[in-house]
Amino acid sequence: MESASGSSSSVRPTRIDQVIPSIIEHDAVSNHTFVAQRLLREMGFVSEIYAAIIGPGCAGRVHPLGELPSLEDGSQWVLYQCSIGGPAADVVARHPGRKLLDYHNITPSPLVERWLPPLAEECRLGRRQLKALAPLVSYAFARSAYNAAELATNGFARSTVVPFLVERGNFDESPDADWLARLAAARSEGGSDWLFVGQIAPHKAQHDLVKAFACYRSVYDADARLHLVGREMGSTYIDALRRFIAALGLQDAISLPGSVSVGALVAYYGIADVFVCLSDHEGFCAPIVEAMSRGVPVVAYAAAAVPETVGEAGVLLSDKSPAFVASVVHRLLGDAPVRASLVAAGRARALQYAPEVAAAAFRDAIKVALAAR
């Protein structure tokens, strides 16, 4: 196998292709990959995306993994978008070109083992592959300092933090009028709106959100609503979540709209009183930044990279017992000066992750990687 300081190090690449295990619409890692492609092309590189699994909405923009060229003259580099295990990592490991790795973190397998054993196996595989890639990768990017620390632990010699890449258009998109009207109509009947955006998945702990929300409805606001936006990861966890919601009689108060368009998502941020994240694991949590940029105050359980993403611009929780979470939200929504202050702090925090800031960090990281070859 080629080492990170291979013989072709003096050749400047003309193309930097990206490899990703799977790519799908309305997904943060996938969107990041598309923006990275645009930036690489703007920097003058030929850049294509190759994926083992190409989801709906991505056909025509992404090539099957088997079509990845293997140029041996040093003119081709490969940037691997690492978030789970699979054949893509092995293809990257065998590739003759210089390798970069962009680390989004890999969900700890115990968090998904009970619900989706095959996914847990892919998570374990991903961590093994990450370690195996360390001596082969010349430079790595990480979504957060938390992720960068994991890279160092796994033997990556050089890495830098590059925030999530997002399109400016997504940031500025107007709310979908139909969605906004529907959500506003429900809102006009009273009650506050809680929002969480993320895959419906065990490690995102939507069941803990339901518990806290049930307590909040019981003691503070009987008309409150909870919106859990995101596609499901497998069918078992969402099945359990639906049964749980039904058992509590909260079907009319909790919505699970699935994956929605950017305009619909903006409508949700537009009506939300508070963004509550009780995830047990996040490598960054882009929706926290989206909420901040849209003026929604954030309450979040302090797990993994979440404290780093939130900073001082939200309320971080050291435990997620229902009464405590409900009381935090109640305090936040009932105190206008506190709420306004956190909204202002959130907007300022989101500017640090603005699309142009992240794009500049990505370009700088590529330049450093080129200089380090």
Longest CA–CA separation in the chain, Å: 68
CA proximity to 121, closest of 81, 154, 86:
86
**Selected binder of another protein within 77, 115, 196, 268 (CB under 8 A):** 115
Rounded to the nearest 10 degrees, the angle between the axes of helix 28-42 and helix 355-371 is 60
Q: Does 24 bind another protein (CB under 8 A)?
A: no
Q: Would you count residue 44 as binding another protein (CB under 8 A)?
A: no
Per CB under 8 A, does 258 bind another protein? no
Q: Which of residues 332-351 bind another protein (CB under 8 A)?
A: 332, 335, 338, 341-342
- Minimum distance from CB of 337 to another protein (Å)? 8
d(CA 99, CA 188): 54
* Site pattern 195..234 for another protein (x: CB under 8 A): ------------x--xx--xx--xx--------------x
Minimum CB distance to another protein smaller for 57 or for 117: 117
Q: Which stretch of DSSP H or E encloses residue 151?
A: helix 145-153
Judging by beta carbons within 10 Å of its beta carbon (0-12, 13-18, 19+), is residue 96 exposed, middle or buried? middle
Closest CA to 228 of 170, 112, 237: 237
Q: 321, 348, 351, 364: which one contacts another protein (CB under 8 A)?
A: 321
CA pseudo-torsion sign 286, 288, 291, 292:
negative
Query: Minimum distance between the CB of residue 322 and another protein, rounded to whole angstroms?
Result: 6
Which residues are registered as beta bridge partners of 263? none
Residue 305, interface with another protein (CB under 8 A)? no
Specify whether the backbone of 84 is left (phi greater than 0), alpha (psi in -120 to 50) or beta. beta
Q: Which of 6, 55, 295, 307 binds another protein (CB under 8 A)?
A: 307
Q: C-beta of 244: minimal distance to another protein in Å? A: 4
The reply on whether position 20 binds another protein by CB under 8 A is no
The correct pick among 226, 276, 310, 366 for binding another protein (CB under 8 A) is 310
Q: Among residues 36, 40, 326, 343, which is the contact residue for another protein, using CB under 8 A? A: 326
Q: Does 367 bind another protein (CB under 8 A)?
A: no
Nearer to another protein, 3 or 236 (CB): 236
Applying CB under 8 A, among 236, 251, 261, 352 the residue interacting with another protein is 236
Q: Which position among 248, 256, 361, 370 is part of the footprint of another protein (CB under 8 A)?
A: 248
Say how far apart CA 345 and CA 357 lie, in whole Å.
18
Q: Is 186 in the site for another protein (CB under 8 A)?
A: no
One of 116, 136, 254, 292 touching another protein (CB under 8 A): 116
Among 117, 155, 190, 258, binds another protein (CB under 8 A): 117
Cα–Cα distance list, 313 to 150, 176, 269, 288, 297 (Å): 25, 27, 17, 10, 8
**Cα(21)–Cα(107) distance, integer angstroms:** 14
Dihedral, 213, 215, 219, 222 alpha carbons, nearest 10: 40
**CA dihedral over 145, 288, 164, 31, signed as positive or negative:** positive
- Rounded least distance, CB 100 to another protein, Å: 27
Beta carbon of residue 261, minimum distance to another protein (angstroms, whole number): 22
Q: Which two tokens stand for residue 339?
A: 């709420």
295 binds another protein per the rule CB under 8 A = no
Q: Work out the burial of residue 371: count CB atoms within 10 Å of its CB; fewer than 13 is exposed, 13-18 middle, 19 or more buried.
A: exposed
Interface positions with another protein (CB under 8 A): 114-118, 121-122, 207, 210-211, 214-215, 218-219, 234-237, 239-241, 243-244, 247-248, 302, 307, 310-312, 314-318, 321-324, 326-328, 330-332, 335, 338, 341-342
